[in-house]
Structure 1
């Protein structure tokens, strides 16, 4: 057996414990579900199987695939069923023998009581907690997915008590933190401890916080700073006097100044003398000043003097650094002492808050499950229930396990003694794909667990480095790249589909030097003269680096789609938009890439994290709920009536506003109009539904109310009718997500509609807790097809695409993470060895250097893991691009690593592999067309030649379009448009003060020129300029002449049709129209 492909007879043997370390694309889910099928074929009862993975999505995928396979086994012919079984490690005779049982597995699984358990780690922990005896005190708790609101409330209670009771023990520590760190950094530091509270509890088992603080005191050995400086002066005072004389004698300006400063403070306070010595010996960044021997120095000081000067400089500088290191140790201890005193008190407040409300989050769930399995009084009961239930344990994606989760699992398995029948364990994972350190994942646990299972359960360890996903070109680049990264512990991979077309390109770094008028960092160069800030604004050049990268990406995608070859299920076809997956590390710059795709007309789908409540469809639903909760809210009612649910036109709203029933709310006016029979059918429908929903809102839970609204109001169909087809899947997903959020938020905590609305308002302003936009399932032909997908690398884990583009991949700077928790919990250890706070550089000290270095290595390893995950999403074509950095950092960027691998495989080129064009793809742009074989058929109407006035108007439009799009500094007009009279008209229009709202980019949101629209009668029209401002949309129509009453009616009709077309595209905003004449006159229509 080789690393390339594991022996399925061993991996899927129901009687064997197996650990599989499998690379990306090797079929880990296939292997795990196949193992379940083999267990069922071997007669194992479904209820005896426990499969644990890390996300609900992965658990549902395992369930769906198992159901699909069992259904296939029940329905396909014998030949197909036998082939299925032989693919899963059975020989022909064994496959035929178990075929009858295989046919009935679907019924066995569906009827099983208890059923097979396929869950997440937290789902399994919840089962353990639910099974706890009443004496545990854990019954009746509610699990909340996000604990931010709980920590916010605990912080407020803690801060109020510290302010109210200054003598309370934690209050001085909180004041110290606020003074030294500031409010935001103090909150960050204490929040990090709350996030690690399970590890803190594990560290403190059998002792209290005071004991931990004393351990840290012994570890840092803090000294009084004044004693340190006094000792320094006592030891080195005479040498400092000698050194100051040598500094002055050296006759260099900086040395003379430093020497005189030292002499001036001789006999002064030790702290003052130490500060002067520090300034003379060290730079501002506390690095020793560069002082080297030279002939000139020896001439000034003499040979002995120069040697004495350099020796004193080296020894005194090191002495100062030693004192500074002791300062840092003392500062580190003070940070930890005050941080732990305040943090533990805050943790106590949080625990009391949760107990009073019977709440727990995922960290609590882990801690309580661990406590139950380790508590002598309760562990036996829990373990007996687990032992009686499960005989086969399957662990998926085990590289994402955190130390506490591993300790919980180990507490259960350690309880088996030599006389008991142990369960069979099947573990699969890939440490190279561990990318969740921010969720406390520890990839080293996988190796430790593999050794544990081999020793305790006789597990066989099988590597699998053969990928079914990636093309040979992608695999070659991955092998070349990670072979040069010793930290990665990489084994070369093998492509099982070596004939698959593939290509890898590195593009960039893309800089800002092309135009010559901007720097890479987007900052303007200083002017030669002084700037008057009252009259001359500071010139800041726009940073166009990412815009250039985005434009290049969009252009290349447009070239790929429809032309490049994609192999799907063994058949070749042309690439489609849904074949393209754009990956990013962070979402910061995504808007620029989305804009480039829109400009190219490329459909895409992305989900904005925490952006659900700011989508138009969610705002519509919130407005409706606000009205139902408060019928006097006129603005909410007006908003609701304009939504697709009712779609009342502007004239209907004006009729309500102008109703004679002045002085009463819009709801009373609407009611009066409908009862008088003056409202029309649409208004009567709205009145009827709103009246009914107002009654239901008084007693129905919010989710049930929304369910009634969606059904009775025909929300989906009415919304789909007014939404462009390309946008509908995203809108539908957001509507579903809003209803799901109502169920989640309303669960036993927000029983009334007003409280639910208040909670939505709070979440809308909370970036951490706000609900995410709805997700579009990639596998749905209706929703995913025809769209480029944009995702983060974390979000794309487990996915693949024929074409992957990794954007913004040249970053060399790690995000700042100054105030954090340092944790050392070796995988084989039962509890953490060390937990402390890290702060600014002067608060770190040197005694934790090894721990900090290990943390740095872990961060670098995870960066490599992220790159591995990103590259291996590509099944055929991979592009990596990035922009030039103004000040590159010390890290090697992903783009540079890929470029180095490409240079190794294909020297002198940034490309590896071939561009494979699909045979059925259309010819490239510019290719000569084949002559038509059929006689031409007349289509449309023949137009009369343009008159001179029409040609004049055409040239005026063309020049206005160019100047309006380019703004100041536009290129000179072409010969066709350079007519002097046209030039004068264009200048007059663009300079007119009453038109600046439509031509000055600072006064509008966005604008387009020459927009083609489809009018209500099916004909087409072209809007000269469409401008979006804060007050709505504006349609501009240029006329080369002057206002003419005879033609004005025709102009009104034309603009009315344009207004109708724009209103259909943007129904929630008003649309206004103006005529702009050649003499710069403006006429509102």
Structure 2
């Protein structure tokens, strides 16, 4: 419907950039964009008549002239070329783009990052840890005493998701008002009504009396004895007295928590001390009367502790996110709403947006939260103010929603918000003389008439659907055959504990469990459908039948439980194509565990268990026998890795050696990719585990990239980071291909299938409410244990349970309306009247659906059969192209060695005169090392002087490795200064002289050369290269210069000739010991270069 609306707007000439479509999920946004581009692309290729016919189906009856048809064909290109693309996105994506456009006004970092669920969990844990070990530890302790196990982490998640209720911290009066607690009510005033010296004596007397009675009297007496030993009564004392004096919550003959008048003490003891009974019963009445106030005071203390902690936690949590430039999903909405409502910047932002949005379309509006509505409201309010009143500018808001499908209250969805916003926009439009158009959509474009009839009958009382009257659905495809099957429930089988084999784990599921039996029946039925069943299909206006394919079947459950896993397992057991679970827990994925086993071994080669797991995995494919023969003969203390290396070469050893060699140099992502691609790991895992393993592998790689963006990459760091929290991956089941889909009803929102099976229709177990109850004014009340709830809290609990039950009814509605032609309803265990199974059965009773045989019993079926329909013609399959023979080109020769760039100093030949070695030493190598060190330091000094002071240069030289060999560093600095001060060398050290010039060039006959010239003088007519030589003994004429130096200078001349064509090239040597500048004839150095060895030659020649 939204796609049709966008198409009509584009046909009316609306700029695609001025349309904003907001969807509930990314999958819905992608699907809508795909459908729109498919339609516009089809228009671009259609002939006139088919195009006119399709435009008429959109309601266009005028303006279908050829000129307008050309405009319709151009819409595809226009949509593609829209800057930034069409704005079809989720509300969160739109808010994120809004914040990136106005980061300063929103008070966020322009480079903010969006936190995923794992990042939020780690950040919450970090904040709580800092609070627990810091000055706010008392706040943590006050709350932690009420929680155990994972409940504290769950509470942090709830607090972070409801942060607006805790900021700022509510005042004392607000907390008391939540519980209707009087201002003067206190623990002391309450206990004063119970505790007195006379009553303490009464309790001691009753205790003594009870100790002489039977077992029950003695048990009560011991409890009273503990009370009597207390120095001062407290609220916990009252709770102890209630256990003795009041009936419990499960009392049948008496009112729960009423005084045991006449029942305590027992009849036998009452006659022994009649003088105590009257006073005791008075005390019991007082304890009964005090109970409600005691519960309120304890609930108040509990909530006071929570709100104090939560306010500090939220402040620290927000501060840490701001410091790191992070925003979570709720922040995107809250910040965008603040941006659009802040008086200081809202008008400016709306002014900038006002010219860019003319039409707003909202999908699945029934699941929109109040915060999201606030953003939409501020955007659309401009349509009825300012420029929005311009009659020449047509602006609209188009909202599609169905109260009956509001099932996301746990994510903040507000089903009643749809009606509130409808009234709001109606009132706004009435101010400018316009009317809000509201249309009821009675036709279903998906389901058959039979399915819709059962839906109508099931929800005849319309309880929980948010409708004021029963809804009657009309099938758009009225003649489409359909059916609804109801299977009899699989009965629950109780087995005695001693019937279970002692070898079974204590937490294992009984093989005769009703859920396992139902899963097997569902798998058998699906297998029969695919092999023998058929589905109706319309071919040129005639209904026919076609075979069932795996992609036609969708199995929906209320929650991921034993039944969910068992169905997937049974389907796989029968080799049926199943897409797997719609959500993956990454740590439980076999492919991920196999990869992690390899990584743990690479991080610690002595980890024999991880190596054994890796070898047994599909990555290496070892059998139990192979592993046993490797591990069993090992001497004590030898690791499995040492045994593998000692067993000789193998494929596993080659792969592991390669990965170990790279483990310290590659990032975790690259290391895993090397295992998966270079060593064929991905193919092996998919071949063994099936295509559904690919989602887990890809998610693991994405986790590696996320880790590398948050921390310094290392293998051990990545493994530790992965172990901090479980990652759950959501799979897009709309792209499951031709495979059976097994998923929750929530995950199936927006999806459909020809065959839908609902196996999870038994009576639902006790519902789970959030520990924080929403109250009036946006405040939250932390719930106490059920038996400790004061009256207002109990009433609120009952209201929330009723709302949850209404949503569960809506969930059934959503589940049933996913089916196109065939709906199957079944269940295991107790399927009473309040279960989904019972609700559908009542609907079939109303429709008088007859009995129908099913797998192993008599079920019921409503609707017709289509086996009598003619078979639909098989679609022609496109044959694969014939293979083209490839010529036998022969093996590709191996690539030759890569050419190595030489330095001019590596061209061979002597670098010093024969008599230059220091005569005072018998070690020529040591003498040469000192000369090289001195030369390096002199070059370094000439490079930094005179810009750097002599003292700093001396310190720089002292910090080098050559300082120990070079001798007196002050002499070197002085020698450099003397050279720079020499008048005949002024041109070498002038400001326009280039120092330490890197050159690289390809020289024919020599190869690639790369070198550094000490000084380069560039003039319009000539370039001169000067090289510094620190030789103590040097020649008197150029012809006596050592061969190696001449080759080096020849190389410089050849490279400069290539770089400066048309200029004369000169070379010279500066003998630094005497500051002598010796020009070298060009013919001399070039002749020496010709004598240098070619590429690959011997440089010693």
- In structure 1, the residue matched to 2:768 is 816
- In structure 2, the residue matched to 1:483 is 460
- In structure 2, the residue matched to 1:192 is 158
Deviation for aligned residue 1:686: 4.0
Q: Deviations over 1:785-808 (max 9, x none)?
A: 2x4321111111111122211113
- In structure 1, the residue matched to 2:969 is none
- In structure 2, the residue matched to 1:804 is 756
Q: What does 1:30-69 correspond to in 2, within 5 Å?
A: 31-69=1-39
CA distance in 2, matches of 1:636, 1:159: 31
Secondary structure of the structure 2 residue equivalent to 1:426? strand
CA distance in 2, matches of 1:626, 1:186: 30
CA distance in 2, matches of 1:174, 1:483: 50
- In structure 1, the residue matched to 2:545 is 572
CA distance in 2, matches of 1:93, 1:451: 35
Q: Deviations over 1:270-325 (max 9, x none)?
A: 99899768855644447882799xxxx9xx9xxxxxxxxxxx99999997655322
CA distance in 2, matches of 1:544, 1:660: 44
Deviation for aligned residue 1:121: 0.8
Deviation for aligned residue 1:232: 7.3
1:349 aligns with 2:316: yes
Say whether the 8 Å CA contact 1:475–1:495 is kept in structure 2.
yes
Deviation for aligned residue 1:146: 3.0
CA distance in 1, matches of 2:771, 2:617: 47
Q: 1:560 to 1:610 in 2, by over 3 A?
A: closer
Secondary structure of the structure 1 residue equivalent to 2:302? helix
CA distance in 1, matches of 2:47, 2:870: 38
CA distance in 1, matches of 2:606, 2:65: 72
1:874 aligns with 2:854: no
Say whether the 8 Å CA contact 1:199–1:404 is kept in structure 2.
no
Secondary structure of the structure 2 residue equivalent to 1:572? strand
Say whether the 8 Å CA contact 2:582–2:747 is kept in structure 1.
no
CA distance in 2, matches of 1:270, 1:200: 33
Of 485, 488, 505, which aligns to 1:508?
A: 488
Say whether the 8 Å CA contact 1:562–1:921 is kept in structure 2.
no
1:289 aligns with 2:269: no
Secondary structure of the structure 2 residue equivalent to 1:100? helix
Of 362, 384, 390, which aligns to 2:329?
A: 362
Say whether the 8 Å CA contact 1:481–1:897 is kept in structure 2.
yes
Of 548, 554, 577, which aligns to 2:517?
A: 548
Of 861, 866, 870, which aligns to 1:912?
A: 861
Secondary structure of the structure 1 residue equivalent to 2:826? strand
Q: What does 1:1041-1052 correspond to in 2, within 5 Å?
A: none
Question: Rg: which structure is higher?
Answer: 2
Deviation for aligned residue 1:385: 2.2
CA distance in 1, matches of 2:240, 2:555: 54
Secondary structure of the structure 2 residue equivalent to 1:484? coil
Deviation for aligned residue 1:498: 3.0
CA distance in 1, matches of 2:509, 2:35: 56
Deviation for aligned residue 1:669: 9.7
- In structure 1, the residue matched to 2:704 is 742
Q: What does 1:843-858 correspond to in 2, within 5 Å?
A: 843-848=788-793, 851-858=796-803
Deviation for aligned residue 1:550: 2.1
Secondary structure of the structure 2 residue equivalent to 1:604? coil
Q: Deviations over 1:439-468 (max 9, x none)?
A: 111111112122222222443111112112
* TM-score (normalizing by structure 2): 0.64
1:883 aligns with 2:828: yes
CA distance in 1, matches of 2:758, 2:484: 11
- In structure 1, the residue matched to 2:1025 is none
Deviation for aligned residue 1:478: 0.5
Say whether the 8 Å CA contact 2:176–2:300 is kept in structure 1.
no
Q: 1:366 to 1:470 in 2, by over 3 A?
A: same
Deviation for aligned residue 1:626: 4.7
Q: What does 1:487-502 correspond to in 2, within 5 Å?
A: 487-488=464-465, 489=467, 490-502=470-482
Of 548, 555, 568, which aligns to 1:582?
A: 555
Say whether the 8 Å CA contact 2:615–2:622 is kept in structure 1.
yes
- In structure 2, the residue matched to 1:1021 is none
Secondary structure of the structure 1 residue equivalent to 2:865? coil
Q: Deviations over 1:972-1010 (max 9, x none)?
A: xxxxxxxxxxxxxxxxxxxxxxxxxxxxxxxxxxxxxxx
Secondary structure of the structure 1 residue equivalent to 2:560? coil
* TM-score (normalizing by structure 1): 0.65
Q: 1:421 to 1:160 in 2, by over 3 A?
A: closer
Q: What does 1:765-784 correspond to in 2, within 5 Å?
A: 766=726, 769-771=727-729, 778=735, 784=737
1:427 aligns with 2:399: yes
CA distance in 2, matches of 1:273, 1:639: 58
Gaps of 5+ in 1: 1-30, 301-311, 514-518, 528-532, 826-831, 923-1085
- In structure 1, the residue matched to 2:805 is 860
- In structure 2, the residue matched to 1:694 is 662
Q: Deviations over 1:575-627 (max 9, x none)?
A: 23332211111111123333433455544332263433433332343345456
Q: What does 1:76-115 correspond to in 2, within 5 Å?
A: 76-91=46-61, 93-94=63-64, 98-115=68-85
Deviation for aligned residue 1:573: 0.8
Q: 1:172 to 1:97 in 2, by over 3 A?
A: same
Q: Deviations over 1:880-919 (max 9, x none)?
A: 112223xx89x81111111111111116745232463535
Q: 1:907 to 1:918 in 2, by over 3 A?
A: closer
Q: What does 1:998-1013 correspond to in 2, within 5 Å?
A: none
CA distance in 2, matches of 1:750, 1:220: 57
Let me know the Cα RMSD of the aligned residues: 5.1
Q: What does 1:959-974 correspond to in 2, within 5 Å?
A: none
Of 786, 793, 800, which aligns to 1:841?
A: 786
CA distance in 1, matches of 2:138, 2:452: 58
Deviation for aligned residue 1:717: 4.9
Q: 1:847 to 1:100 in 2, by over 3 A?
A: same
Deviation for aligned residue 1:852: 3.6
CA distance in 1, matches of 2:813, 2:131: 49
- In structure 2, the residue matched to 1:309 is none
Say whether the 8 Å CA contact 1:564–1:921 is kept in structure 2.
no
1:616 aligns with 2:626: no
Secondary structure of the structure 1 residue equivalent to 2:755? strand
- In structure 2, the residue matched to 1:948 is none
Q: Deviations over 1:645-672 (max 9, x none)?
A: 6768999999999999999999899999
Q: 1:198 to 1:416 in 2, by over 3 A?
A: farther
Gaps of 5+ in 2: 268-278, 390-394, 430-434, 852-858, 872-1101
Q: 1:883 to 1:672 in 2, by over 3 A?
A: closer
Say whether the 8 Å CA contact 2:41–2:76 is kept in structure 1.
yes
CA distance in 1, matches of 2:623, 2:764: 53
- In structure 2, the residue matched to 1:996 is none
Q: 1:332 to 1:44 in 2, by over 3 A?
A: same
Q: Deviations over 1:44-101 (max 9, x none)?
A: 1111111111211111111111111111000122222112211111115447663111
- In structure 2, the residue matched to 1:1063 is none
CA distance in 1, matches of 2:696, 2:122: 28
Say whether the 8 Å CA contact 1:222–1:326 is kept in structure 2.
no
1:897 aligns with 2:839: yes
- In structure 2, the residue matched to 1:1068 is none
Say whether the 8 Å CA contact 1:623–1:636 is kept in structure 2.
yes
Deviation for aligned residue 1:349: 2.5
- In structure 2, the residue matched to 1:386 is 353
CA distance in 1, matches of 2:50, 2:626: 64
Say whether the 8 Å CA contact 2:303–2:781 is kept in structure 1.
yes
Greater RCO structure (CA 8 Å; 6+ sep): 1
Deviation for aligned residue 1:635: 6.6
Say whether the 8 Å CA contact 1:617–1:734 is kept in structure 2.
yes
Q: 1:229 to 1:636 in 2, by over 3 A?
A: closer
